[in-house]
Every structure is written in C-alpha cells, then in structure tokens.
Amino acid sequence: MYEYITGKISFIYPSYVVVETNGIGYKLLMANPFRYTEQWHKEATVYVYQDVRQDAILLFGFQTIQEKQLFLKLINVSGIGPKSALAILANDNHQGFIQAVENNDTTFLMKFPGVGKKTASQIVLDLKGKLSDFDVSDYTGSTDGVTGQGDLLSPNHHFNEAMEALLALGYAKRDIERVKKQLDPSAEMTTDAYIREALSKLI
C-alpha cells in the first residue's frame, strides 16, 4: 500500500523511528534507526513496507529502495521473518552477506540472530544468483552527528542506546555482553557508530 513516506523524523528509538507528516506520526520499524541521527527533527524520505497480520499492522522503514528490495527477498525465504531480515540489514557488510550466499557459506549466515543451519541453507537455496543487482555501496550511511534526544544514561547515552538496539535486533544477551567488553563506552562516538562497530565484531 505504501511506497515511501516523506516527513519529519520526530523520534528515534532503538528499534524504530517516528516520521511525522500531516499531523500523523508513523512508527517505522528499522534495521538501524540511528542512521537517521543527522536528520532528527528534519524532513526525510523513508521507503516503507506494510506487513498486515491477524493481530497487527506493522510498517517497516528503509533508507533506500535497494534496501527495501533486499528485505522483500529475505522475508520470502522460508524461515526468515521481518525481525531476522532487519538483523541482516543492520550489518553494514552486505557484500559479506551476498558473498556468503554465493559461496554457500552457511557458517557466516548462522551468525545472524534467528538463522539456524536449516534456514541458512534455505537462504542459499532461494537467493543464490539473485543478488547481483544490489549495489552494496547504497547501504552505508554517515556515522557523524548526535541524537540530541532523551535523558542521558550513565556512563554513555549513545553506548547504552546501541546495546538496546542490538537487543531489539534479536542478538543474545551473552553475545552483547561479549561485544561490550570490546568497545569503549567512554569514546566520543554516536549511537550509529557504536552499532556499526558492534555488528562488525558480532558478524
């Protein structure tokens, strides 16, 4: 029903953003909402997929049409739901994902939350040879800027937001605790930058 929504990014949370247009705030579930940090309280265009279920109507948001198309391919794979698809999209290493599919590297694919051996094999079976049209350079965003919203958490607001975002993506608490030890919570980094670095260590 929806192709995209253009409006003001009014809120940014670990698992979604709110885009306000014509007095209505649309909750858009996203792989990494903090990619929109620089556009907070500014107008942005977000591509949208509407998921209609028996108990809910959900909207998923994407920075580019290519990201949306990759999401659609992923959720058509048996065993991959929207949450697992978002976890895959959250990682900046889309080239690594595509190469894993082409090389039958199920071990790499099983690093994503919600992807077991059977599902990893199904991803390869369904998507191998079908991802060559995706330009992975389209997925990377800026890591600059600050959120400027919410009360600061101790010791580092951006660090804590990033850990909440990883939890929202479905990563196990034990894996998040492991990666936390490899990050510097006192570094002057944005939430987006923390998420990107954490994902690079998880995948």
Q: Both tokens of residue 8?
A: 């003001």
Angle at 186 between CA 181 and CA 191, to 5 degrees: 85
Cβ within 8 Å of residue 35, ≥6 positions away: 63, 141, 142, 192
Q: Say if 196 falls within a structural domain.
A: no
136 half-sphere exposure, CB direction, 13 A CA radius: 13
Q: Which residues 6+ apart lie within 8 Å of 45 measured at CB?
A: 4, 5, 6
Per-residue pLDDT tens for 159-175?
Answer: 888 999 999 999 988 89
The answer on pLDDT for 146 being more than 70 is no
Task: Verify that 57 and 69 share a domain, yes or no.
Answer: no
pLDDT at 147: 37
Do residues 191 and 37 make contact, with C-beta atoms less than 8 angstroms apart? Answer: yes
Question: 72 with 35, same domain?
Answer: no
**Residue 201, pLDDT above cutoff 80:** yes
Per-residue confidence band for 155, with pLDDT thresholds at 50, 70 and 90: low
pLDDT digits (tens, 9 = 90+) for 34-55: 999 999 999 999 999 999 888 8
CB contact at 8 A, 38 and 175: no
Q: Which domain holds residue 119?
A: 65-139
Find, among 92, 126, 132, 136, the residue nearest to 106 by Cα: 126
In the chain, how many domains are there? 2
Is the pLDDT assigned to residue 138 strictly greater than 50? no
pLDDT band at 95 (very low <50, low <70, confident <90, very high): confident
Mean pLDDT score of the chain, rounded to an integer? 86
Provide the CA 121 distance to its chain's centre, in angstroms. Answer: 22
Mean pLDDT, rounded, for 103-124? 94
Residue 134 has pLDDT above 80, yes or no: no
**Residue 178, domain member (yes or no):** no
